Amino acid sequence: MDTEPLTLVCAEVIDANTDEQIEGSIILICERCERDVWCAPSGQDVIAERYRNRLELLVLCVPCGLAAMTEDDDRQILDITEAQARELREHYRR
């Protein structure tokens, strides 16, 4: 079983009212800089799954995610899931 702390990188909220966002997205907070970030339904599923299995998950904005990657090569950044890829494809097709 995967017990490594996992990092979920989310896009920053620029303007909650006008940002183009995937339907069903919620706002979370970057655990480093406390900036608001968007979390799409597929990301919410990842969070729920980690929570159910009592595994760590770090939510970061893109700049903090990139910084974390360069600081700590061992940190696992979550690969895009099939659900996330589908969401993005559907979102950008519009």
HSE-up of 2 (CA within 13 Å, CB side)? Answer: 12
Q: How far is the CB of 12 from Zn ion (least distance, A)?
A: 8
Q: How far is the CB of 58 from Zn ion (least distance, A)?
A: 10
Give the DSSP letter string of 43-85: HHHHHHHHHHTT--EEEEEHHHHHHHHHH-TTPEEPPPPHHHH
Output the six-digit token pair for 32.
């480093």
Residues 29-88 that bind Zn ion (CB under 5 A): 30, 32-33, 35, 61, 64
Of the candidate spans 3-11, 26-34, 48-56, 77-85, the one that interacts with Zn ion by CB under 5 A turns out to be: 26-34
Residue 75: φ, ψ to 5°: -65, 135
Q: How far is the CB of 67 from Zn ion (least distance, A)?
A: 8
For Zn ion (CB under 5 A), the number of binding residues is: 6
Beta bridge partners of 29: 36
Q: How far is the CB of 15 from Zn ion (least distance, A)?
A: 17
Q: Which residues bind Zn ion (CB under 5 A)?
A: 30, 32-33, 35, 61, 64
